[in-house]
Structure 1
Amino acid sequence: MTTLTPILTKFWDHPQSWTMATYEDNEGYTALRQALKTDPADLIQATKDSGLRGRGGAGFPTGMKWGFLPPPDGGPRYLVVNADESEPGTCKDIPLLMAAPHFLIEGVAITSFAIGCNHAFIYLRGEVVHVYRRLMRAVEEAYAAGYLGKDILGTGFDLDVTVHAGAGAYICGEETALLDSLEGRRGQPRLKPPFPAVAGLYARPTVVNNVESIASVPAIIKQGAEWFSDMGTEKSQGFGIFSLSGHVKNPGQYEAPLGITLRELLDMAGGMRDPGHPLKFWTPGGSSTPIFTDEHLDVPLDFESVAANGSMLGTRALQIFDDTVSVVRAVSRWTDFYMHESCGKCTPCREGTWWLAQILQRIERGQGTPEDIDKLVDICDNILGRAFCALGDGATSPITSAVKYFREEFEAGCHTPAAELFPPAASTLFAKEQNTMVTA
Structure 2
Amino acid sequence: MENMHRPLTQNIRPDRLFATLADYESTGGYQGLRRALSELQPKEVQQWVKDSGLRGRGGAGFSTGLKWSLVPMDDGRRPRYLIANGDEMEPGTFKDRLLLERDPHQLIEGVIIASYAIQASVAYIFLRAEYHLAARRIEHALQEARAKGYLGGRVLNSDFSLEIHLHTSAGRYICGEETALINSLEGKRAHPRTKPPFSVISGLWGKPTVVNNIETLCNVPHIIRNGIDWYKGLSRGVDHGTKLFGASGRVKRPGLWELPMGTPIREILEDHAGGMQDGFKLRGLLPGGASTDFLLPEQLDLPMEYDAVMKAGSRMGTGTMIILDDRTCPVKMVLNLEQFFAQESCGWCTPCRDGLPWTVTLLQDIIDGRGRPEDLDTLSRHTRMMGPGNTFCALAPGAMEPLQSALKFFRADFERYITGAGGG
TM-score tier (shorter):
over 0.9
Q: 2:73 aligns with which of 71, 74, 77?
A: 71
CA distance in 2, matches of 1:346, 1:236: 35
Question: Is the aligned partner of 1:309 residue 2:312?
Answer: yes
Partner of 1:246: 249
Change in 2 beyond 3 A, CA 1:234/1:259 = closer
Contact persistence 1:244–1:254 (CA under 8 A): no
Q: TM-score by structure 1 length?
A: 0.92
Measure the CA separation in 2 of the matches of 1:5 and 1:414.
51
Give the match's secondary structure for 1:36.
Answer: helix
Distance 1:292 1:301, change over 3 A: same
1:271, CA displacement in angstroms? 2.7
Which segment drifts farther, 233-242 or 280-289?
233-242
TM-score by length of structure 2 reads 0.95
On the 8 A contact 1:367/1:416 being kept in 2, the answer is no
Q: How does 1:152-231 map to 2 (within 5 A)?
A: 152-231=155-234
Aligned equivalent of 1:322, options 294, 314, 325:
325
In the alignment, the residues of structure 2 paired with residue 343 and residue 336 of structure 1 have an alpha-carbon distance, to the nearest angstrom, of: 14
1:261 Cα deviation after fit = 1.2
* Cα drift, residue 235 of structure 1: 3.9
Say whether residues 1:409 and 2:410 are aligned partners: no
Task: Report the more deviating stretch, 256-265 or 211-220.
Answer: 256-265
SS in 2 for 1:280: strand
Report % sequence identity: 45
1:367/1:415 contact within 8 Å kept: no
Equivalent residue number for residue 428 of structure 1:
none
Aligned residues of 1:18 and 1:98 also touching (Cα < 8 A)? no
Secondary structure of 2:59's partner?
coil
2:39 maps to 1:35 = no
The residue aligned with 1:396 is 400
| 1:59 alignment counterpart | 61
AA at the equivalent of 1:205: P
Paired AA for residue 94 in structure 1: R
Per-residue deviation at 1:165? 0.2
Within 2, Cα distance between the matches of 1:345 and 1:408? 35
Measure how far apart 1:266 and its partner are.
1.6
1:416-435 maps to which residues of 2 (within 5 A)? 416=420, 421-422=423-424
Aligned residue identity for 1:325? T
Partners of 1:142 and 1:176 in 2: CA distance: 29
Please state how far the C-alpha of 1:272 moved relative to its aligned partner: 2.9
Question: How many angstroms does 1:173 deviate by?
Answer: 0.4
Whole-Å Cα distance in 1 between the matches of residues 29 and 79 of structure 2?
A: 28
- The answer to whether the 8 A contact 2:247-2:320 is kept is yes
TM-fit CA distance, 1:269: 2.5
Match of 1:47 among 49, 62, 86: 49
- 2:321 is paired with a residue whose SS is strand
Q: Does 1:341 align with 2:344?
A: yes
Deviations 1:47-70 (A, max 9, x none): 011000000100000000000011
Match of 1:19 in 2: 20
- Distance in structure 1 (CA, Å) of the matches to 2:411 and 2:214: 37
Q: Could you say which residue in structure 1 is the equivalent of 2:140?
A: 137
Matched residue SS, 2:418: coil
Q: Is the 8 A contact 1:148 1:159 kept in 2?
A: yes
For 1:152 and 1:185, the matched residues in 2 are separated by: 32
SS of match in other structure, 2:409? helix
C-alpha separation in 1, matches of 2:162 and 2:333? 45
Secondary structure in 2 matching 1:198: coil
* Runs of 4+ with deviation above 6 angstroms: none
Deviations along 1:307-336, whole A, 9 cap, x unmatched? 000001111111112111100000000000
Q: Deviations over 1:166-210 (max 9, x none)?
A: 111001100000000000000000001111111100100111110
For 2:109 and 2:293, the matched residues in 1 are separated by: 35
